[in-house]
Amino acid sequence: MSQRTILPLIISTAILLQLSASPPTETTCAGYTYNKTLTIERSSDKLKVIATSTIGGYNPCSFYTYVDLTRPSGGPPAREESPGDYIPGLAQATVQLPILDATGTYATSNFWKVQDDSVYPPYLYLPTTEQKDLAVAPIISTVTPSNASQRSGVQMVISGLAFGTSPTVNIDGASSINVASASSTSINVSFDSSNMSMGAHNVTVTNNLTSNSATFTASCIEPTGFHQTVGTPAPQGWLYFRYEWVSPTGNLADLNRCSIREVVRYPSGSVYYPPSPPWPTDAGFINPTIYPPNDGRPASYGFMEDQHKLSSTMQFAKPYSTNSFVASQDYEFRCTCGSNTDWTVIGGFRDIQIVRSITNESGRWQYKIEKSGVSNTYDLP
């Protein structure tokens, strides 16, 4: 019996499918004629190899069509043999593989076999050589994240098919594009979006051929989910609060163009001094008090702490008397990347009341502070 020849199939940007068999060496089936066709189809996620043969002649011969595809990395072969058919007739075999399997080197063969049913075996392998070219470009399904701020060190995962192991990634307007790792279905890439214009930019992958385009958007990312996580009394009649927030992209680094601050306003004056006595003479409050001053706290930190105290000495002046005053506090944010670069009060955190008072309950003079349902007292000497 003659031996069939197995030729490699490289599936990347172009697939060369080589069909070959040795000439016939023996048969009792004479006078046959045959035709052969090879069709390769590609859908969005499948490769289909279809081999069809027709043969004419006379009995007692029958014939078969084979398609063999041997997967890379020692995977199981994909093979189909058509049903036998007495001539004249037609036989067809089809092998279908996912695109994700179509990124390595394949051994492949296709051959037609004529069987003499009166003398079984041997087989007659019909001679044939045929090749087809098939373009298989990478396919991008998703990019994550699909948006980020203008900054360095953006980390993206590109998912899809037929990337190969050494793809090239292009992101319009980005710099310092670096492919950290790649497989046939996933690419980890980092890049710098600092100089990208605001808006949508194309992302493509090239593995000899270039993929479809996905979209990455350079955006002005604003903090969201601002909320109080801690509110508790602290020593010396203080209150301690902690606030946190998130980035809608899930990455705080995307808040690099934004800041957070608090603003506290007192009853009057550029520096407000409550009356003394009974308040300490050094209990002066800059009006308004802005913290942190100037540019605020970088929003990329994801949290801020807020402490409310009275003065450094806590030296209340006698004679004591009941007295109180109210300050109003806002929490604000600002982003320098958007159309509005002004400080904006965070929803739900406007006009928070901070009440400080001197009381005499049950015959004991105390300093008391209250904010957001949290209070603390300090016994006066």
Q: How confident is the model at residue 356 (pLDDT cuts 50, 70, 90)?
A: very high
The span from the CA of 162 to the CA of 145, in Å, is: 21
Looking at residue 132, its pLDDT comes to: 41
Strands 154-161 and 14-21: unpaired
Segment 20-49 shows an average pLDDT of 47
Q: Between these two residues, 91 and 341, which has the higher pLDDT value?
A: 341
The mean of the pLDDT values for the chain is 76
Q: How confident is the model at residue 7 (pLDDT cuts 50, 70, 90)?
A: very low
Strands 147-148 and 214-218: parallel
CATH of domain 139-218: 2.60.40.10
Looking at residue 347, its pLDDT comes to: 96
Give me the half-sphere count of Cα atoms (radius 13 Å) on the Cβ side of residue 227. Answer: 5
Tens of pLDDT, residue by residue over 57-81, are 444 455 444 444 444 444 444 444 4
Fold of 7-135: Immunoglobulin-like (2.60.40)
Looking at residue 355, its pLDDT comes to: 98
Parse the chain into domains and list their residue ranges: 7-135, 139-218, 224-379
Segment 357-377 shows an average pLDDT of 95
The span from the CA of 185 to the CA of 139, in Å, is: 9
Neighbours of 261 (CB within 10 A): 19
Looking at residue 73, its pLDDT comes to: 43
Strand partners, 242: 230, 305
Looking at residue 308, its pLDDT comes to: 95
Q: Which residue in 150, 147, 191 sits closest to 338, CA to CA?
A: 150
| DSSP letters spanning 183-208 | -SSEEEEEEE-TTPPSEEEEEEEEES
Own/partner long-range contacts of 363-372 (Cβ < 8 Å, ≥24 apart):
365/320, 367/237, 367/310, 367/314, 367/316, 369/237, 369/238, 369/239, 369/308, 369/310, 371/231, 371/239, 371/241, 371/308, 371/329, 372/228, 372/231, 372/241
pTM of the model: 0.67
Percent residues over pLDDT 90 in the chain:
55
- Asked if 7-135 and 139-218 have one fold, the answer is yes
Is pLDDT at 302 greater than 50 in this prediction? Answer: yes
User: Do residues 18 and 36 make contact, with C-beta atoms less than 8 angstroms apart?
Assistant: no
Q: How confident is the model at residue 287 (pLDDT cuts 50, 70, 90)?
A: very high
Is pLDDT at 229 greater than 50 in this prediction? Answer: yes
| DSSP letters spanning 131-147 | EEEEE---EEEEEESSE
Percent residues over pLDDT 70 in the chain:
64
User: Do residues 14 and 115 make contact, with C-beta atoms less than 8 angstroms apart?
Assistant: no
Tens of pLDDT, residue by residue over 112-151, are 444 444 444 444 444 343 444 444 678 899 999 999 999 9
Looking at residue 25, its pLDDT comes to: 35
Is pLDDT at 323 greater than 50 in this prediction? Answer: yes
Tens of pLDDT, residue by residue over 83-115, are 444 444 444 545 555 544 443 333 334 444 444
The span from the CA of 264 to the CA of 325, in Å, is: 13
Q: Which tokens go with 283?
A: 């209990």
Q: How confident is the model at residue 49 (pLDDT cuts 50, 70, 90)?
A: low
Looking at residue 94, its pLDDT comes to: 52
Q: Between these two residues, 306 and 4, which has the higher pLDDT value?
A: 306
